[in-house]
Amino acid sequence: MEQLLAKLYQTNHLTHDEIVELLGNLTPEGKKELFRMADETRQRHYGKAVFMRGLVEFSNICKQDCLYCGLRRSNPSADRYRLTDDEILSCIEEGHELGYRSFVLQSGEDFRYTDASLAAIIRRIKSRYPEVAITLSVGERSEACYQAWFEAGADRYLLRHETASRELYETLHPGMSYDNRVQCLTTLKRIGYQVGAGFMVGLPGQTARHLADDLLFLHDLQPEMIGIGPFIPHSATPLAHESGGTVDQSLVMIALARLFIPDAMLPATTAMGTLDPVGREKALRAGANVVMPILSPLAVREKYALYENKICTGDEASHCRHCIEMRIVASGYQIDLGRGDHCSVTGPCPA
């Protein structure tokens, strides 16, 4: 195991069989060494900075029926909402006043927001705040749509691949195509977005071999951002009674992702904090370097329920920002409220 960790640290790569072997033999001491290596690698690329993104969850309406998601179209108990253009702009305005210069616009796959209408929102934000970075996370669309949003001023796009196993992907995503998911990611990169991929840990049927597939997929794709977090069952989905993933499993995968793709932006996700009061801090110590406090109106926060019991749904935006800031500083890291671009945008990434 020590030899595999040393090889990964030095080369940023392992074979599929070596990843499976490492995952099957990782001792508590081995995990400590893995997390140390990941933290050191993150600091080499980004120092002690933790980048803050203001998150606006502007619609919980979704055309897809993913088995694990509380927003799935077949969930009749979901209390649906859409924010108006002015409500979205108000969230951005509040975030800007709080110091944020990076924003994430996220929704279900809600096609009421058309190519043109979302482009208009992006242009309004950029015309008022030209210095900010805008990340979109709204699912699968056409190349023409992605191009239009990029030309309107969107800088980044988050689209988790969810799992690099075709069989597992299509089992969990009825009516969706693994090939189309991958094509969307390659299209986004070709257009020029800073692209985010990622996966869930602890999915039903997921094995160490699937997780090895995920790491190698990411290594080949080289996304600028990687989102990894535990699968948390939702009571109104077909996977309600599954056991779900754990913080410990997710920490291992976050650290491995940091070593496989050293210059990636890696969020300490809200899901980690939902399962463990200090889950996000643990993720930072395992190589993560992004947090995304919620800016959505209080009236709709609980309605954006990919999973249940999500933290921070009752906090005012100002309280949410200052709370996570204090926790990050107490953990020995530094807040960065700037654009937080990938290192390749601001200059050559460290070797």
What local confidence, expressed as pLDDT, does residue 244 receive?
Answer: 96
* Residues 92 and 56: beta-carbon distance below 8 Å: yes
257-286 average pLDDT score: 97
To the nearest 5 percent, what fractions of the chain are helix, strand and coil?
45, 15, 40
Q: Give the confidence band of 316 by pLDDT, cuts at 50, 70, 90.
A: confident
Task: State pLDDT tens for residues 157-194.
Answer: 999 999 999 999 999 999 999 999 999 999 999 999 99
CA distances from 175 to 172, 180, 333 (A): 10, 11, 43
Sign of the C-alpha dihedral, residues 292, 34, 247, 167?
Answer: positive
Q: Give the confidence band of 315 by pLDDT, cuts at 50, 70, 90.
A: confident
Domain range summary for the chain, segments of one domain joined by +: 2-341
What local confidence, expressed as pLDDT, does residue 79 receive?
Answer: 98
What is the pTM for the complete model shown?
Answer: 0.97
Average confidence score pLDDT of the chain: 96
What local confidence, expressed as pLDDT, does residue 40 receive?
Answer: 97
User: Does domain 2-341 fall into CATH 1.10.3720.10?
Assistant: no
Q: Give the confidence band of 99 by pLDDT, cuts at 50, 70, 90.
A: very high
The answer, yes or no, to whether residue 149 has pLDDT greater than 90, is yes
CA–CA dist 260, 34 (Å, integer): 12
Helix (H) or strand (E) holding 302: none
Structural tokens at position 137: 């996370």
CA–CA dist 174, 75 (Å, integer): 14
CA–CA dist 64, 127 (Å, integer): 32
What local confidence, expressed as pLDDT, does residue 319 receive?
Answer: 74
Q: Give the confidence band of 321 by pLDDT, cuts at 50, 70, 90.
A: confident
- b/e string for 123-142 if b means 16 or more Cβ within 10 A? ebbbeebeebbbbbbbbbbe
Q: Give the confidence band of 322 by pLDDT, cuts at 50, 70, 90.
A: confident
The answer, yes or no, to whether residue 312 has pLDDT greater than 90, is no
Query: Among residues of the chain, what percentage have pLDDT more than 90?
Result: 94
69-78, 131-140, 229-238, 324-333: range with lowest mean pLDDT:
324-333
Task: State pLDDT tens for residues 196-231.
Answer: 999 999 999 999 999 999 999 999 999 999 999 999
What local confidence, expressed as pLDDT, does residue 329 receive?
Answer: 94
Query: Among residues of the chain, what percentage have pLDDT more than 70?
Result: 100
Q: Give the confidence band of 318 by pLDDT, cuts at 50, 70, 90.
A: confident
